[in-house]
Amino acid sequence: MTKFLHGFFSFGWLRGLDFLPPLLFRFFLAPILWVEGSSRLGLFKNADTIWWNPMTWFDSATYQQGVDVLSNAQGLMPIPFPSIMNGVIGGVEVIAAFLLIIGLAVRWISIPLLAIIVIIGLATVSFGGDIVNTGKDLFMSHGYSTPTNGAFETTLTLFLMVLALFFMGAGRFFSLDWFIHFHFMRKLKKQENSNYQNDDPFDIDSTETS
**Residue length of the chain:** 210
In this structure, the dihedral spanned by the alpha carbons of residues 63, 64, 66 and 71, taken in order and rounded to 10 degrees, is 150
Q: What is the pLDDT of residue 153?
A: 80
Q: How far is it, in rounded angstroms, from Cα 189 to Cα 25?
A: 30
Q: What is the pLDDT of residue 112?
A: 97
Q: Angle CA(155)–CA(161)–CA(164) in degrees, nearest 5?
A: 140
CA 98 vs. chain centroid, Å, equals 11
Beta bridge partners of 58: 43
Beta bridge partners of 138: none
Low-confidence residues of the chain: pLDDT under 50: 128, 130-132, 135-136, 138-149, 210
Q: What is the pLDDT of residue 103?
A: 96
Q: What is the three-class DSSP state of 85?
A: helix
Find the radius of gyration of the CA atoms of the chain: 22
Q: What is the pLDDT of residue 139?
A: 45
Q: What is the pLDDT of residue 141?
A: 46
Write down the pTM of the prediction: 0.75
Q: What is the pLDDT of residue 10?
A: 67
Q: What is the pLDDT of residue 184?
A: 81
For the chain, domain boundaries: 18-192
- Nearest 5°: phi and psi at 85? -65, -30
* Nearest partner of 202 among 28, 22, 24, judged by Cα: 22
Q: What is the pLDDT of residue 146?
A: 44
CA 195 vs. chain centroid, Å, equals 36
Q: What is the pLDDT of residue 52?
A: 80
Q: What is the pLDDT of residue 143?
A: 43
Query: Which amino acid type is present at position 82?
Result: P
Asked whether the beta carbons of 30 and 170 are under 8 A apart, the reply is no
Q: How far is it, in rounded angstroms, from Cα 100 to Cα 171?
A: 11
Q: What is the pLDDT of residue 138?
A: 45
Q: What is the pLDDT of residue 125?
A: 67
Q: How far is CA 92 from CA 14, 22, 74, 117, 172, in A?
A: 34, 20, 23, 11, 24
